[in-house]
Amino acid sequence: MAFQQGLSGLNSASRNLDVIGHNIANANTVGMKTSRAEFAALYASSVNAASGVSTGIGVTTATVSQSFTQGNITVTGNDLDVAINGNGFFELAMPNGSLAYSRDGQFKLDRSGNIVTNQGGQLMGYPTDAAGTRLSFETVGLSLPTGGPIPARPTGAITAEFNLDARAVPAASATPPTPLSTYGTSVMAYDAQGMEIPVGLAFQKTGVNEWTVQRSINGGAFAPSDPATVLRFEQDGTLRTVPVLDADGNVLQPASVMPPIMLTSPNNPNATFSATLDYSKATQFGTSFAVSNITQDGYRPGELTSLKIEENGIVTARYTNGQMRAAGQVALVNFRNTQGMAPTGGGNWAATFASGEPQRGEPGVGRFGSLRAGALEDSNVDLTGELVNMMTAQRAYQANAQTIKTQDQVLSTLLNMR
């Protein structure tokens, strides 16, 4: 009797429609991977099987497989949206303590600064220092310091690049005297509390290829020239960095070496600290005085304003003081058999014995794909193909129902025989 075959066909066709309906329902789900019902024929063992006259007993759903092909990447502009372009999964520490794996990169910041998903799973990655150098191969939950400002950094080095006019007349010969402001510049330094310390620098020509440097700290008067603070230039206009010696090794003309300056905190006159001066790129050419660059390495405290995730997974935090610091590196995970992963809902999968152990690595290295911040990976469901598959599954369901109907008519005819 064909009731069993028809019934198995109905069950399989219904399961196929379930899978197709699931795909269609998730056509717009971020990171969704399409599924496919795969069927297998059923045969009963019999002594006649070897003669080739064994009759099949129906069909079964062998498995529901998933296609992990790349989905389209859509730009969203949200810094916490991340798409994987290539192989790999995000690793998530779920609230129940388990690990999950996902292609859904719609991340958020919780009140503790943790980078989490909509289901509360914390994004896992490698710890790094502020420069982005990995500190460990063990993954940890990625967090941003949102609880308070990053501390200030006192100025420890000042670097200036400028040109002094070689046509200038030495101060002793100038009539009228050249004002200090003619060849001067300034920079804002910081103490350990992030308070500003104005530093003024004035240059005065004192001889052939020689200039003295005078300094003003915290808006005070320029200190008298120190004999040690002299810039000496070679005839080609570059700064002299080594002394000129005679045949006996005696110093004829010393090199230009700037001693450090002492800075005083505006909040505490007794709190002083030193900062080095780097004038190594200063020049003396026959053109107007100009400062091309002047920098210092201190900064005030800063609050977190935004973050950026690079292609290699480095999470960089931006602060109101202009500083950028790495807060970790997103890790990607892959498996020998992705088909063996078990979907757990919410766009997540779990590792199983069939999938193998997780293999972790950096984005863009080896077989791992790169990351695209401000973008999301669309579902890889082909909506047109799924609608065609649905019509095919519907016809299969109708045909199996017709098989049962026909068998019922045959059976009725048999029972009605007189």
User: What does the pLDDT look like over 34-61, one tens digit per residue?
Assistant: 999 988 888 876 555 555 556 778 888 8
Tell me: do 176 and 251 sit in the same domain. Answer: yes
Tell me: do 59 and 83 sit in the same domain. Answer: no
The domain tally of the chain equals 3
pLDDT of residue 46: 59
Name the percent of the chain in helix, strand, coil, to the closest 5. Answer: 15, 40, 45
Give the span between the Cα atoms of 71 and 68, in whole angstroms: 9
| pLDDT of 1 above 70 | no
pLDDT of residue 131: 87
pLDDT of residue 233: 94
Tell me: do 229 and 346 sit in the same domain. Answer: no
Tell me: do 373 and 388 sit in the same domain. Answer: no
Residue after which a domain boundary falls, among 296, 330, 364: 296
Tell me: do 104 and 166 sit in the same domain. Answer: no
Q: Which domain holds residue 235?
A: 157-296
Tell me: do 125 and 164 sit in the same domain. Answer: no
Which run of H or E residues covers position 21?
A: helix 3-25
* Average pLDDT in the chain: 88
The percent of residues in the chain predicted with pLDDT above 90, rounded, is 54
Tell me: do 136 and 212 sit in the same domain. Answer: no
Please state which of the ranges 148-157, 239-248, 298-307 shows the lowest mean pLDDT.
Answer: 239-248
CB 162 within 8 A of CB 185: yes
Tell me: do 211 and 112 sit in the same domain. Answer: no
Residue after which a domain boundary falls, among 276, 296, 316: 296
Mean pLDDT across 7-29? 90
Tell me: do 164 and 140 sit in the same domain. Answer: no
Mean pLDDT across 262-279? 90
Query: What is the CATH classification number for the domain harbouring 271?
Result: 2.60.98.20
Tell me: do 316 and 281 sit in the same domain. Answer: no
Tell me: do 117 and 55 sit in the same domain. Answer: no
Mean pLDDT across 112-122? 92
Give the span between the Cα atoms of 215 and 225, in whole angstroms: 8
CA nearest 61: which of 90, 98, 36, 91?
36
pLDDT of residue 415: 80
pLDDT of residue 9: 85
CB 295 within 8 A of CB 283: no
| pLDDT of 164 above 90 | yes
Tell me: do 35 and 108 sit in the same domain. Answer: no
Residue after which a domain boundary falls, among 296, 313, 336: 296
Confidence of residue 376 (pLDDT cuts 50, 70, 90): very high
pLDDT of residue 8: 83
| pLDDT of 74 above 90 | yes
